Structure formats: structure tokens, C-alpha cells
């Protein structure tokens, strides 16, 4: 029984590290796609994407049938990929510290991508260098990648 418990704990740790590795790789891929978008469109999927300024959940349609498109849709519509990576947990948006979905923030022209890594401890200062300094405590975002 002890050996089985040790094996399960070790296996869970391996799975968490694997998902976190995928998350980091996904954000690098999204960063590259955003840079391609910027080359062609002049911004980093900001105008009319996400909440209208390019911030928010990557997959959320913030205004339903209005002019704003999910950030992922802005990128795929530009033709750079058929599918933008999603968090390996498969969640598009959520709330709480166990949230596993990607987010993007447009902070007066500086763009950041966010993920919630399972193996990185959470603090209340994880997103303090961005204009969305509460995303760490509101959504558990503890990994930030600056795009530009």
C-alpha cells in the first residue's frame, strides 16, 4: 500500500510537470502567432479582440454577436494556424485559483500572456508587473510571458 501511494504521488508530479511544460510551450507558440499577426495587422490582436482591447480569456466572446471576437478567433481568422493552443486542462475560461486557461493582457501597448502552472507556488505578486495585477489572486495566474 505504501509503495502504491508513493507511485501515485510520483506519477501525479510527473503529470503536473508535463502539463506545465506544455503550458510554457503553448504560450511561446501563441507569442509567435501574435508577432505574425502584428506584422500583418499592426497590433498584437488587440483591436476588436477579446474584451475589445485585446485583453481577457483567449477563448471568450465578450459581447456575443457584437464586433468583438475571441482572441483565438482573431488569430485563426488571420490564417496563421487552424487552432490556437488551449491549456492542457481544456478549459476556456474559469474563476478561482484552480483555473487553467490562457489569458492575454494589453497593457497600454505592452502585451502579456498568462498561465496557471501547477508546480509553481502561487503568490499575491505573481502578476504585479502587469496592468492586471489581480489576475494572480482572482484566477491563479502565476506564469507571465511578455510578448513585446
Confidence of residue 65 (pLDDT cuts 50, 70, 90): confident
Identify whether the C-beta of residue 99 lies closer than 8 Å to the C-beta of residue 137: no
Interior/surface letters 47-67, b for 16+ CB within 10 angstroms, e for the rest: bebbebbbbbbbbbebeeeee
**Which pTM was predicted?**
0.89
Residue 62 pLDDT level (bands cut at 50, 70, 90) = confident
The predicted model gives 111-136 an average pLDDT of 93
User: What is the pLDDT of the chain when averaged over all its residues?
Assistant: 89
Amino acid at each position: 500500500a505504501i509503495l502504491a501511494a508513493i507511485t501515485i504521488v510520483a506519477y501525479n508530479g510527473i503529470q503536473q510537470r508535463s502539463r506545465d511544460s506544455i503550458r510554457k510551450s503553448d504560450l511561446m507558440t501563441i507569442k509567435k502567432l501574435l508577432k505574425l499577426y502584428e506584422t500583418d495587422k499592426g497590433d498584437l490582436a488587440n483591436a476588436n479582440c477579446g474584451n475589445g482591447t485585446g485583453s481577457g480569456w483567449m477563448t471568450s466572446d465578450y459581447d456575443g454577436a457584437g464586433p468583438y471576437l475571441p482572441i483565438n478567433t482573431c488569430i485563426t481568422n488571420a490564417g496563421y494556424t487552424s487552432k490556437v493552443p488551449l491549456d492542457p486542462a481544456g478549459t476556456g475560461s474559469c474563476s478561482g485559483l484552480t483555473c487553467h486557461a490562457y489569458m492575454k493582457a494589453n497593457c497600454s501597448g505592452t502585451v502579456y500572456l498568462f498561465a496557471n502552472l501547477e508546480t509553481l507556488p502561487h503568490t499575491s505578486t505573481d502578476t504585479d508587473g502587469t496592468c492586471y495585477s489581480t489576475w494572480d489572486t482572482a484566477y491563479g495566474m502565476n506564469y507571465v510571458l511578455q510578448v513585446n
